[in-house]
Structure 1
Amino acid sequence: MEAILLEYAWVLVVLIVLEGLLAADNAVVMAVMVKHLPREQQKKALFYGLLGAFVFRFAALFLITLLVGIWQIQAIGAAYLLFISIKHIYDSKFKKTEEIDEDELSDEPQKGKGFWATVVKVELADIAFAIDSMLAAVAIAVTLPTISDMHIGGINIGQFSVMFLGGIIGLVLMRFAAQWFVKVLNEYPGLETAAFLIVGWVGIKLAILTLAHDGVGILPHDFPHSTPWKIIFWGVLLAIALGGYFSSVIKKKKGQSEQSL
């Protein structure tokens, strides 16, 4: 029995690390989505987003066999993330200041950018992210030995408990990581373009998952989880983050120097 408990503990640690890694890029997306809100509302939006994600992921454990076939959710998530990334970069680089609508300059929340609209967007983004992480958790947890005859949603209660704990801890990590990213973006506004590039890159990640889905079959099923793709994904993400950080620091120091003159 002790050996089984150790195996369960080890798999739980693996799932927490996995969720932590997945939370890193997801958290950047969450931070970007809530950044336009007043600072006192940013934490609330992330909290409500976490609450909704908790409910969804708990339900997803029961419905995982059905969710496996719904590749359209990830496709919509990919399209949305790519859209907001391209739109922000286009607006910031090519849209002239004098062409900005007066409504955008007012203190009133823009359409689709209010508090609850933002919470809904955070929820929808998490649903797109959740499917991949839940499938990875299932693939790891089902290798564990069963500890009783009780099943929940077609999964042994022991395996279900490990997946549930790993997922919830991952959500908490994502929430605090997103809060930290919000602070960084507020401190270094120049990072915002890099953050939106990362959002677009995460959108490509979801697009790759969609193309490799059994229901689409354009890419090999195992490609999104292969070592070459993981190296490419994390390498590009790190390069964008570091490039944006150093560029932002240089701009900030330049601005401080000009102000001191």
Structure 2
Amino acid sequence: MLTSQDLISGLPVIASLVIIEGLLSVDNVFGIAALAKELPQHQQRKAIRLGMAGAYVFRVLALLAAAWFIANTWVRWLGAVYLVWLMCSHLTRHDTRAASGPSKRVAPTLLGALLQIGLMDLSLSIDNVIAAVGLAPKDVQTQLPVMWPIYAGVLFAIIALQAIAPHALRLLRKYPVLEPAAFILIGLVGGILVCEESYHAMTGGVLHIPSLAKFAGIVSIVALALLYSGSAVVRRLSNPLIGLALPLMKGFTALINWVFLPLTHLCAVCKRGR
């Protein structure tokens, strides 16, 4: 039974979870909208609705399977690598097309977009629940995480997803630069998860990145994207760094495509609508 003492001790955890879940919800919604934006206009809202439904379902399933995710590090590694790959593949695809010369562009299909959205939803849901479990207080007797703050945090994430979703596609149309920014945010989440898992693998300890640092990273990325769009000076200063990053992202994308060749072929088939 939940006592007043339990409630008081859980409030700081809930406050931290509200920040983290809100930030991950922003990433999730803008990622869904950015992937849906590639579809014909009459399919975009359907893709967003189905993508949001998947986000809700995967968050609940990830919550129910939290103990399994904690016990199986490889699942978290796969989720982290997929998020980084998603960022790299989308940020380099236009550059790759330009380098290969003019070619007939394969129009994305609803099934292909939903496959990518579903994998992104699953990866972000795993990160969502792992973060919540890591912040949750431990039971004095069992030393297991106290679950009610985690449930409260995931509930807030679902509410935040619902609140942000109606505005995401409109914002992407008004500010096109937010589309690459959305994928950078997704890559940021994957990169943080890679750092945390690498630190744990090397030291056995837990790397805790404060919520404030994550918030600062997200705000900085969005602000820099808007500045890049509106300022020729910022573009001139940033382009050399972008030129250095693109080959690295291309190489990472090619490596992951080769390692996960069957999944790559599946994505290609879905995009062709077969």
1:92-111 equivalence runs, <5 A: 92-93=94-95, 95-96=97-98, 99-104=101-106, 110=107
**Counterpart of 2:192?**
205
1:45–1:119 contact (8 Å) kept in structure 2: yes
Indicate conservation of the 8 Å contact 2:83/2:190, yes or no: yes
Structure 2 counterpart of 1:81, one-letter code = L
- The counterpart of 1:248, out of the listed 213, 220, 229, is 229
User: What are the equivalent positions in structure 2 for 1:52-201 lying under 5 Å apart?
Assistant: 52-93=54-95, 95-96=97-98, 99-104=101-106, 110=107, 113-143=108-138, 160-201=147-188
Contact 1:198 1:237 in 2 (8 A): yes
Q: Which moved more, 1:43-52 or 1:94-103?
A: 94-103
Cα distance between partner residues in 1 of 2:51 and 2:110: 11
Alignment check: 8 A CA contact 1:185 1:192 kept: yes
Structure 2 residue matching 1:212: 3-state secondary structure: helix
Alignment partner, residue 268 of structure 2: none
Do 1:74 and 1:209's aligned partners in 2 also have CA atoms closer than 8 Å?
A: no
Q: Provide the rounded CA distance (Å) in 1 between the counterparts of 2:28 and 2:57.
A: 18
Q: Deviations over 1:75-98 (max 9, x none)?
A: 223333333333333333463299
Residues 41-99 of structure 1: CA deviation (Å, up to 9, x unaligned): 33332332333333333333333221112222332233333333333333334632993
**Which letter maps to 1:123?**
G
State the 1:103 CA deviation: 3.7
| Equivalent in the alignment of 2:205 | 221
Which residue in 1 is equivalent to 2:4? 3
In the alignment, the residues of structure 1 paired with residue 84 and residue 134 of structure 2 have an alpha-carbon distance, to the nearest angstrom, of 28
- Identical-residue share of aligned pairs (%): 25
- Preserved CA contact (<8 Å) 2:23 2:215: no
- CA offset at residue 8 of structure 1? 7.8
Question: Structure 1 residues 131, 187: CA separation in 2 closer, same or farther (over 3 Å shift)?
Answer: same
**Structure 1: tracts of 5 or more residues without a match:** 105-109, 147-154, 252-261
User: 3-state SS of the aligned residue for 1:200?
Assistant: helix
Q: Assess if the C-alpha contact under 8 Å between 1:46 and 1:175 holds in 2.
A: no
The residue matched to 1:101 in structure 2 has which SS? coil
Which one of the candidate residues 29, 32, 48 is aligned to 2:31?
Answer: 29
The aligned amino acid for 1:114 is T
Conserved? CA contact 2:69–2:76, under 8 Å: no
1:112-163, Cα deviation, whole Å (9 max, x unpaired): x3223322322222222222322333344454799xxxxxxxx89xx54543
Q: Is the 8 A contact 1:49 1:123 kept in 2?
A: yes
SS in 2 for 1:102: coil
Q: How many residues align?
A: 228
Using the size of structure 1 for normalisation, the TM-score is 0.68
Provide the TM-score with structure 2 as the length reference: 0.66
Deviation at 1:170, TM superposition (A): 0.3
Contact 2:178-2:225 within 8 A present in 1 as well: yes
**Of residues 215, 219, 234 in structure 2, which corresponds to 1:238?**
219
- Report the Cα offset of residue 204 of structure 1: 1.5
Point out the structure with max Rg over C-alpha.
Answer: 1
Structure 1 CA distance for aligned equivalents of residues 5 and 72 of structure 2: 34
Residues 49 and 94 of structure 1: CA distance in aligned 2, closer, same or farther (over 3 Å): closer
